[in-house]
Structure 1
Amino acid sequence: MLFQDFRLFTGERVLHRADVLVSSGRVVAVGAGLRGGPVVRGAGRTLLPGLVDAHVHVVPGASRQAVRFGVTTQLDMFAEPRVLRVERAAGPDAADLRSAGIGATAPGGHPGQYPRFSAFPTVSDAASADAFVAARVTEGSDYLKVFASSAPGEPDLPTVSPEVVAALVSAAHDRGLRVVVHATDQEAALMAVRAGADGLAHLPFDRPPCPVFVAALAPVFVVPTLTAVESFCQVSHEVDPRVAARLDADALANLEDRMEPPPAPCYRPEYASEAVRPLRDAGVAVLAGTDAGVPGTAYGASLHRELELLVSAGLTPVEALAAATSVPARCFGLVDRGRVAPGLRADLVVVDGDPTRRITDSAAVAAVYRGGRLVSGRA
């Protein structure tokens, strides 16, 4: 298959006219004047690598919905094994799934307060950290998620101590797992970074970012989840009609919903968004993730809102697209995707318009390919 005469975002840079040759599910060549067939013509459209949502919580059906919006890989940050089995068996017409499985939290801690989660193992002390991580490896977790804080507005829930976080990080690293930490306040985030965590699953939004906080985050990657922060803070926005048209009634209702109860007054959405540009300037890797599954989100669809918010927060459109392609692939060791380059998976998205200049054009998904095979839309 030949994608001919496209504007191409490779995952790292823009080629204004390029051909991409695909064979046996892989990219064979990128250049000009390539030959092969059948041919998909660019005609002013943009070709992107398959998008990666770096923070979701899957439910049955999530991966099939996500792929319709160009999300070909989802990074799940807490799901029970029974749900993962369903989604991992969704087949080639659904987004690929990597997961932390069950996250590490204190007995009675977040997210155990939500009815959607059944009873799951917790970590009571540092001595039990190694066994907890070993059990996640046995279940097939691809990385470890640790809850170092509760949700905003729920300060009374127990959380794991710094000693437990450090023990979990050590046990995970000993087994070759990355560690991603849930921390919605700066104190918990700094504790996690000092314990050796690899990334933050949210940007804290309990106070304004300061230079000391930004500098402390330099060793890690961050997933701002500005979409979820909007929902926490009861911020509403108009749903893009191109997105709404692809959602069923239940998914659209969840997208238009907001989290309850309202968070504590100190939590403000601008505290997270104001941190994005300074973190970028400090060399911190910024990843696009949505927290899809919580009220105010929809699988796949919300990633386009997240890209818009990242640009509003100071990233360029090209940097935002990289945050949803090559950057999460690099940070999570997904060496076969995230870029359009010879030898990599032909996970590709055809978009009407030019999201490298107008990031909202990313929502105009015309066709989605996984492994070179059309799985959504029309070529």
Structure 2
Amino acid sequence: MAHEPEVTTSTEGRDLATYDLVIRRAHVFDGHKALAGPHDVAINGGEIAAVSAEPLRGRKEVDAAEGWVMPGLIDTHLHFYDVLAVSDQESMRRFEEDELPGRLDLFLQHGVTTIKSVGDPTGGILETRAKIAAGTLRGPRLLATGCGITGRDGHPAATVFGGNPWARARFTGEVDSVRQMRDLVHHLADRKVDAIKLLSEGACACAGSPPYVWRNAAFPVAVELVRLPLDFLRAGIETGHERGLRVTVHTTQQAAAREAIEAGADGLEHGVTVEPITDHSLVELMLERDITYTPTLWIHDATHPDTRGNVKKVADAGVRIALGSDTFSGRGLFGANTLEEAELMVAAGMTPVQSLVAATSGAARQCVRPDLGTVAPGKRADLIVLTADPTQDISNLRALGMTILNGEIVVDKR
């Protein structure tokens, strides 16, 4: 059932109330649906204090002029460090000093207030997360898995980082045994990652299974892969759950998706991309296990023609969808890619509201952050103000007037 926000409809008891910031006369998409009529949204500190159909008073007031207020966008799947340029300690230092701050700011400039890194060097991305949280680095709220975990010579170790051994050892975690899998998950949990990402790429290593060859236009290599062994997969998921962490699994084929779900995964990164979903029982299994499906159309749409149809099939069935662009350095623009992902979801057959839910409350659920993704009292004041209606035209996400992060106006384009 969709969350019903607590909306103040009377000024009783509030006649003298003055909030830190009030956004006045805005249409509101609350993360689940559009509220009827214009509202005032009040903020105290870093939290939403009230959503009222009646006027509210603020020490600072912003007239939305009957534009739209909605939760800041959440991108649940991206790779922040430059996988093409970081190849030793010096190049990593240069990236962190010269490139990182500007790329973080791009997200805010496009209305993205939370990002989730799912395969960056563990030490670097956690240090970046700490700097943002401490306020010494400006950027969106950052969540991170640390390195992605794969089998020996799996993706992305032997693919993206096949010619970059320095980065391979830091961006990926290759395991050769169940014990190594458990130890690595415990190590990441000890470092306080926000979630665990496992990679099960390609075809089953069993008789009769078709080979899977990894190809990506951004890289010159093609690598034949097999899936992560099932006992490794189960061990990673079980250990993550023992540590209270959500575990999602990178898949591309129906068989791999089923295997991940049956092993206990909480969500699928990419889902099914290289073939059409023909097994309806797989969709039923997603619903039964309450799986979140993150389609990453931005990276797969141009090269995998079945991806759009698969997204529509699972969305129409009621499977939970989370927005994740799979943004990585070298293509497109950070932040803008997130907006394109929302548009591609609609092009695939989702409604604008379904796409907005995937980018807000659905993404917050995927990240286990119930304080995010909803416009309601008590939630974090991560908001965007738009000058046009995104519930009718998803491209109106580009009509950004203001980005508010933790109650502070960080971008003002009015």
The normalised TM-score by structure 2 is 0.79
Distance 1:155 1:190, change over 3 A: farther
* Residues 1:52 and 2:74 are matched in the alignment: yes
Q: Distance in 2 between matches of 1:212 and 1:159?
A: 21
Identity %: 31
Checking the alignment, whether the CA contact within 8 Å between 1:66 and 1:299 is kept in structure 2 is yes
Match of 1:307 among 342, 345, 348: 342
Which residue of 394, 407, 414 corresponds with 1:359?
A: 394
* 1:2 corresponding residue in structure 2: 22
Partner of 2:104: 63
Partner residue of 2:193 out of 141, 161, 168: 141
Native 8 Å contact 1:152 1:184 kept in 2: no
Residues in 2 aligned to 1:126 and 1:327: alpha-carbon distance in whole angstroms: 32
In structure 1, the residue corresponding to 2:224 is in which secondary structure?
coil
For residue 61 of structure 2, what is the aligned residue in structure 1?
39
Q: Contact 1:105–1:147 (CA<8 Å) still a contact in 2?
A: yes
1:316 alignment counterpart: 351
Provide the residue aligned with 1:253 in structure 2: none
Report what 2:249 is aligned to.
Answer: 181
Q: Give the match for residue 256 of structure 1.
A: none
Q: Does 1:103 align with 2:138?
A: no
SS of 1:141's equivalent in the other structure is coil
Deviation for aligned residue 1:193: 1.0
Separation (CA, whole Å) in 1 of partners of 2:332 and 2:189: 29
Pick one of 116, 120, 132 that aligns with 1:79: 120
Residue 34 of structure 2 aligns with which residue?
14
TM-superposed deviation, 1:122: 1.7
Please give the secondary structure, in 2, of the residue aligned with 1:152: strand
Inter-partner Cα distance in structure 2 for 1:51 and 1:169: 28
State the Cα distance separating 1:127 from its structure 2 match: 2.7
> How many Å separate the matches in 2 of 1:23 and 1:141?
29
Give the aligned residue type for 1:111: P
Contact 1:228 1:296 in 2 (8 A): no
Structure 2 gap segments, 5+ residues each: 1-20, 82-99, 203-212, 216-221
Structure 1 equivalent of residue 180 of structure 2: 128
The one-letter amino acid of 1:135's match is H
Separation of aligned partners in 2, 1:356 and 1:125: 48
Contact (CA 8 Å) 1:6, 1:43: kept in 2 or not?
yes
CA contact (8 A) 2:123 2:146 kept: no
Aligned counterpart, 1:169: 237
1:376 partner SS? strand
Deviation at 1:315, TM superposition (A): 1.5
Count matched residues: 343
Q: 2:207 is matched with which residue? A: none
Q: Secondary structure at the match of 2:174?
A: coil
Deviation, 1:373, is: 0.5
SS at match of 1:164: helix
Stretches of 4+ aligned residues off by more than 6 angstroms: none
CA distance in 1 between counterparts of 2:310 and 2:330 reads 24
Q: 1:277 to 1:350 in 2, by over 3 A?
A: same
Q: How large is the Cα RMSD of the aligned pairs?
A: 1.8
For residues 260-315 of structure 1, give each alpha carbon's deviation from its aligned partner in whole angstroms, at most 9, with x where no partner exists: xxxxxxxx23x111122221232210011100115544221111111111112222
Give the drift of 1:372: 1.3
Q: Deviations over 1:166-192 (max 9, x none)?
A: 111111111111111111222211211
Partner of 2:370: 335
What letter corresponds to residue 152 of structure 2 in structure 1? P
Corresponding residue for 2:214?
152
**Partners of 2:286 and 2:372 in 1: CA distance:** 26
1:106-133 deviation digits (Å, cap 9, x = unpaired): 1222112323834144211223222111
Task: Tell me the SS of whatever aligns to 2:324.
Answer: coil
CA distance in 2, matches of 1:315, 1:57: 25
What is the alpha-carbon distance in structure 1 between the residues aligned to residue 241 and residue 378 of structure 2? 29
2:292 alignment partner in structure 1: 221
Matching residue of 1:374:
409
Aligned twin of 1:290: 325
Please report the TM-score for the alignment, with normalisation by the length of structure 1.
0.86
Residues in 1 aligned to 2:384 and 2:328: alpha-carbon distance in whole angstroms: 23
- Determine the structure 2 residue equivalent to 1:208: 276
Letter paired with 1:353: A
Aligned twin of 1:278:
313
Q: Structure 2: how far apart are the matches of 1:180 and 1:94? A: 25
Aligned counterpart in structure 2 of residue 191 of structure 1, from 251, 259, 263 = 259
Measure the CA separation in 1 of the matches of 2:126 and 2:249: 24
Distance 1:133 1:97, change over 3 A: same
